[in-house]
């Protein structure tokens, strides 16, 4: 590529991809390229996702858009990066001759300077990549490989940088951050890393842990979350199911009893914590009875935050060849059932907050109200707090508010001072 070319990136998929995109842009900037948005770029990079079919289709749609831009002469080169390129390089090469390069996932340490794609006040910090859990439905270990943790020094340098730059919230991410350190130090070292991180933090208000694999959530980790006001009381714990047979078929390492025990432990140790989870419905051979068991479990536990996915059949996974695939219509019905059950739970949970005070982080202003989040809401996936304030508020500011109205997933509040 010539020097000073203008480069734009389109980042699809999860926040882990976003961090990769930020690092790619940081590196290119160091090499002298100009960074711009995709509409004004000469070289368009698309960082793709291939986790489930919807994500693949979305990636393909965007590649087609870039191909159009190239045909119109508005783009000189197209580079397709990431999970989709890693999985289907050969097929894609034939399908899209207009694309100049396909680059699979490469291990990216943090660049010296990243080009952040999130607002100034919150950031994602990836501490590991890949996964050793090998859930039978998941293609990630095939795409990303086994666990690769970042060296502690590299994580600490990034935290110091965020802290110096007055970032308000740092979301610590990975495919499974409870695996952090197993590859480097022979044991799960997340709580140790957190201790080191907390020593460096002066200005960051919230550290949020995203994706905890249930069977590796240990006492030390829960104690860290409980004892440090700087760590959000937000337990992101994807459980996927509660039926013993389905959990086994999914290759999950915890039994229903383990899950019940863990939830009990969390509720007792950190009663104010919001537990976020996700479930897969319509896994091959999931009977109506097993599905009802899942619904009952959700009604019992009343998770504060919950996401649900319909099973997406992925080639090269163990679950792909399982018999008794569930028809799409049935999967969608199961999805809708859980969504409406959770809507009710969320509405009831929110009602209990009426009149209470909460600390929120201001994200932005929209149509007269400030959009904010409490420590119980992760960016982009959870609810919002709409804040009315007579005084001007700034993104990144922490504010104490009183809840004056509640909606299904969101809250309405006013400032206290």
Q: Which is nearer to ligand SF4, 277 or 349 (CB)?
A: 277
Q: What minimum distance in Å lies between the beta carbon of 131 and ligand SF4?
A: 3
| Residues 204-233, interacting with ligand SF4 (CB under 6 A) | 213
> Looking at 21, 23, 47, 133, which residue binds ligand SF4 (CB under 6 A)?
133
Token representation of residue 63? 């590649």
Instruction: Say whether residue 131 binds ligand SF4 (CB under 6 A).
Output: yes
Relative to beta strand 34-35, strand 6-11 is: parallel
**Of 32-40, 71-79, 126-134, 349-357: span binding ligand SF4 (CB under 6 A):** 126-134
Cα separation of 155 and 328, whole Å?
42
Tell me if 294 contacts ligand SF4 by CB under 6 A: no
Give CA torsion, residues 381, 174, 164, 202, to 10 deg.
80
Q: What b-and-e string marks burial along 292-318, b requiring 16 or more CB atoms within 10 Å of the CB?
A: ebbbebbeebebbbbebbbbbbbeebe
Q: Cα–Cα–Cα angle for 252, 89, 146, nearest 5°? A: 30
| Residue 141 touching ligand SF4 (CB under 6 A) | yes
Q: Which stretch binds ligand SF4 (CB under 6 A): 136-144, 226-234, 316-324, 380-388?
A: 136-144
Number of residues that bind ligand SF4 (CB under 6 A): 10
Q: Does 255 bind ligand SF4 (CB under 6 A)?
A: no
Binding of residue 134 to ligand SF4 (CB under 6 A): yes
Binder of ligand SF4 out of 7, 38, 140, 378 (CB under 6 A):
140
Q: What are phi and psi of 142, to 5 degrees?
A: -70, -40
Does 135 engage in binding with ligand SF4 (CB under 6 A)?
Answer: yes
Q: What does the per-residue mask of binding to ligand SF4 show for 319-348, with x meaning CB under 6 A?
A: ------------------------------
Nearest CA among 32, 35, 33 for reference residue 11:
35
Phi, psi of 205 (to 5 degrees): -85, -40
Pairing of strands 169-173, 206-209: parallel
Cα–Cα distances in angstroms (integers) from residue 70 to residues 61, 172, 226, in the given order: 15, 37, 53
Strand partners, 359: 400
Task: Looking at residues 154 to 183 of the shown chain, list those that interact with ligand SF4 (rule: CB under 6 A).
Answer: 175-176
Segment contacting ligand SF4 by CB under 6 A, of 54-62, 85-93, 112-120, 135-143 = 135-143
Q: Which is nearer to ligand SF4, 254 or 346 (CB)?
A: 254
Residue 312 binds ligand SF4, judged by CB under 6 A: no
Residues 6 or more apart in contact with residue 344 via CB below 8 angstroms: none
Tokens of 111: 């660049």
Closer by beta carbon to ligand SF4, 56 or else 373? 56
For ligand SF4, the binding residues (CB under 6 A) are: 131, 133-135, 138, 140-141, 175-176, 213
């Amino acid at each position: 590529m010539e020097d000073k070319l203008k480069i734009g990136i389109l980042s699809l998929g999860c926040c882990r991809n976003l961090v990769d995109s930020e690092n790619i842009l940081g590196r290119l900037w160091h090499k002298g390229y100009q960074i711009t948005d995709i509409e004004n770029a000469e070289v368009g990079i698309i960082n793709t996702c291939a986790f489930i079919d919807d994500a693949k289709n979305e990636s393909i749609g965007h590649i087609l858009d870039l191909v159009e831009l190239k045909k119109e002469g508005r783009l000189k080169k197209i580079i397709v990066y990431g999970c989709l390129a890693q999985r289907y390089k050969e097929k894609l090469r034939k399908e899209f001759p207009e694309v100049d390069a396909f680059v699979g996932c490469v291990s990216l340490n943090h660049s010296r300077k990243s080009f952040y794609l999130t607002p100034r006040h919150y950031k994602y910090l990836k501490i590991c990549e890949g996964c050793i859990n090998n859930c039978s439905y998941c293609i990630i270990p095939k795409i990303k490989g086994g666990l690769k943790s970042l060296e502690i020094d590299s994580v600490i340098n990034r935290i110091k940088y965020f802290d110096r730059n007055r970032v308000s919230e740092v979301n610590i991410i990975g495919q499974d951050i409870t695996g952090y350190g197993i590859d480097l130090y022979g044991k799960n070292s997340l709580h140790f890393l957190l201790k080191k991180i907390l020593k460096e933090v002066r200005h960051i208000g919230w550290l949020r842990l995203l994706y905890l694999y249930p069977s590796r959530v240990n006492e030390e980790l829960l104690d860290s979350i409980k004892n440090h006001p700087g760590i959000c009381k937000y337990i992101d714990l994807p459980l996927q199911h509660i039926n013993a047979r389905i959990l086994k078929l999914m290759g999950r390492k915890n039994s229903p009893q383990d899950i019940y025990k863990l939830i009990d432990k969390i509720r007792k140790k950190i009663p104010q914590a919001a537990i976020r989870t996700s479930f897969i419905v319509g896994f091959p051979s999931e009977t109506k009875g097993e599905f009802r068991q899942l619904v009952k479990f959700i009604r019992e536990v009343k998770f504060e935050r919950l996401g649900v996915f319909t099973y997406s059949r992925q080639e090269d996974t163990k679950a792909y060849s399982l018999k008794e695939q569930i028809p799409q219509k049935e999967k969608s019905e199961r999805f809708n059932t859980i969504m409406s059950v959770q809507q009710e739970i969320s509405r009831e949970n929110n009602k209990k907050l009426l009149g209470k005070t909460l600390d929120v982080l201001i994200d932005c202003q929209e149509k007269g109200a400030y959009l904010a989040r409490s420590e119980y809401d992760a960016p982009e996936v959870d609810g919002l707090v709409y804040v009315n304030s007579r005084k001007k508020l700034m993104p990144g500011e922490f504010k104490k508010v009183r809840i004056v109205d509640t909606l299904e997933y969101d809250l309405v509040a006013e400032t206290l001072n």
